[in-house]
Amino acid sequence: MRAKTNKQKRYTSFITVLSLASFLTFSAPSILPAQETPATLTDEQYHQQMEELFRQGMEKRDAGNIYSAIEDFQSILSTQPKLHRARLEMAVAYYQIYKFDEAVKEAELVLNDPETPPNVRVSILAFLAQVKQDSERLSQGQSTWKFPFEFGYVYDTNVNVGPDNTVNVEDEKASDSGMIFSVGADHTYQTGKRYNWGTNPTNLLWQSGANIYHKGYINEDNYDLSVLSLRTGPTLVTTGSWRSNLTLQEDLILWGGEKYAIFSYLLPSYTWHFGDSGFESTADAVISRRDYSKEGYRERDSVYLAPRLSVGYTFYNGKLAALTGIQYINENARNDAYSQDAICFFLTGSWKIVEHNTLYAGYIQTESRYDAAPVPGLTDWDRPRDEINRQYKLGYVHTFKDFGWLTDWDFTAEVIHTSADSNLPAYDYSRSETFITLSRRF
């Protein structure tokens, strides 16, 4: 779900300061120039027309249609050049699309007017200082580092299920407890590159990261799982209507203490926000080359393609959120017994029950059909697999506040149940995992 970024919040705060710190309204006679009202309109009709145009400009700007909003403000100022309220809001609009020189020019016109009240001058000076700071920061580029960290407990009723839902059919189902640990580093570089595409001013970021994940069991250590991930790629972010990114990722996977596989990914994504309606839609995909190293698994080497379309909705002031979508999966493996076509449907939701406490749930169903039998001519192995995988998830997150060293840590309790129903009995399985973790981003 989309949340306001720090920069969007800063835009909102300046809009509020520049609008409310002044009595510069259309009805204030002190700012109306001595011009003739068009003969075809009464004074009241003319003021109503200007007020409506101003309102449209504000709505367009809030919806991310910045250029159209500027045109509305310019239309007002063409007949009312001393209508400082419209000029200040236009300055904020220029600031939002990174046209800092224009923002300064418009704000200084109001600042230099001797009729501008002192309290408004204070707000304009604060705005100009912010514009200067952001202009310098973006022109030089800026790096931001985050360090996610997580540790906790896991109980698994079927440790035999490995990476990518791989089942070792030669081993029997076993349960065990264990510990999980994850540490990473995320880097965002604001390049300072800005583009004006259509009605959407766009900022170019470059995001990279590394992460180490380990799940180790107490007794069944031959099923321990470790993943080392590296990723990098560009991100385009607009002031409100869409965002897009392209990520390159490399995963080194260890299973049972042995090198299991290397998965290489190309991950494109595009998200569109529907104004302030709470709706957003995402089109993304997984394009992966999967190279298996573990003995007995090399015939699974494959090219994996999985485009996906999802729709999300946030409502009740962000307290409730839902996400649903569909994904098509095509995997072409070295051995056709592992080549598949699949359709995946998913539905998730979250509920902020009280401040700093959230419940969430999810359901994923994947129907897969494979191209060839695992062992032609052998009973119970002589048909291509045709199976349904269902996963249910239920979780709770509490963020500690004013709680000593635990302040800003997240406590998470989560249960995941997975079952696979196959026409080949050897591939049937069920699994329940319980996680209790603490995590934080430093």
Structure tokens at 272: 């569109």
Amino acid at 284: D
For 291-341, the pLDDT digits (tens) are 999 888 899 999 999 999 999 999 888 889 999 999 999 999 999 999 999
The pLDDT, as a whole number, for residue 6 is 44
Containing 78, the helix (H) or strand (E) segment is helix 66-79
HSE at residue 115, side-chain half, CA atoms within 13 A, is 11
HSE at residue 219, side-chain half, CA atoms within 13 A, is 10
For residues 28 and 410, the model is more confident at 410
Closest CA to 225 of 261, 260, 254: 254
**Domains in the chain, ordered, with CATH?**
6-140 (1.25.40), 142-441 (2.40.160.40)
Closest CA to 158 of 428, 436, 438, 437: 428
Q: Among the ranges 63-67, 273-277, 375-379, 401-405, which has the highest mean pLDDT value?
A: 401-405
Confidence of residue 134 (pLDDT cuts 50, 70, 90): confident
The pLDDT, as a whole number, for residue 356 is 92
Confidence of residue 239 (pLDDT cuts 50, 70, 90): low
CB neighbours of 112 closer than 8 A, spacing ≥ 6?
Answer: none
Structure tokens at 325: 């979508």
Q: What percent of the chain has pLDDT over 90?
A: 49
The pLDDT, as a whole number, for residue 15 is 43
State how far the Cα of 256 lies from the Cα of 8, in Å rounded to an integer: 46
For 68-119, the pLDDT digits (tens) are 888 888 888 888 888 888 889 889 988 877 788 888 988 988 888 888 888 8
* Summary mean pLDDT of the chain: 85
For CA atoms 55, 61, 62, 63, give the dihedral sign. positive
Confidence of residue 43 (pLDDT cuts 50, 70, 90): low
For 137-146, the pLDDT digits (tens) are 766 667 889 9
Q: What is the pTM of this model?
A: 0.74
State how far the Cα of 417 lies from the Cα of 112, in Å rounded to an integer: 67
